[in-house]
Amino acid sequence: MQIPANRFVARLAAVASVMVFGALAAGVAEAATEKSVQTEAEWIKFDAENNTITVKVKKPGRGDAAKALTRNKEAVFAVKPEGSVLTRTTVSINGKKAELTDIPEGKTVNVYWRPDETDPTIHRARKVDVILSDEELDEMYGTD
């Protein structure tokens, strides 16, 4: 009667594998559906040595994570300036690709970020969009 025992062990292993894989897939799906926080801020600086950006928060954003930021106070975000588009911090100025070093001090930006998975006190910036002023837009496109 060795065959039934082997079948039982094989089925048990298959069920366990499905359960483990399902739990992992659920964790990945949960992380993928977690939305980024959008924070409007004034650009202060990019620190290439420490891979951080510093901004002065204008509007912290929505959600529990945004409660870590305070209006009119400086905030530091971790960035990844290089790598795959899926992993690096992307930057755009008027919808065009740019670099963190292209953003002048004092510009209004939207920082899209999430708390770090291992340390929620670290804010990881995924994207930085520079907001152009009305005057800059008029200069680029003319006035109506």
Note down pLDDT in tens along the chain; length 144 residues: 455 555 655 565 555 554 545 444 444 444 444 689 999 999 999 999 999 999 999 999 999 999 999 999 999 999 999 988 888 999 999 889 999 999 999 999 999 999 998 998 999 999 999 998 888 888 888 776
Residue 132: how many CB atoms within 10 A of its CB?
16
**Residue 18 belongs to what domain range?**
1-33
State whether 71 and 4 are in the same domain. Answer: no
Neighbouring residues of 84: CB distance < 8 A, sequence distance ≥ 6 = none
- Dist. CA 35–CA 132, nearest whole Å: 25
- The total number of structural domains that make up the chain: 2
- Dist. CA 136–CA 12, nearest whole Å: 66
**86 within domain boundaries:** yes
State whether 61 and 102 are in the same domain. Answer: yes
Neighbouring residues of 41: CB distance < 8 A, sequence distance ≥ 6 = 55, 56, 57, 58, 59, 75, 108, 109, 110, 111
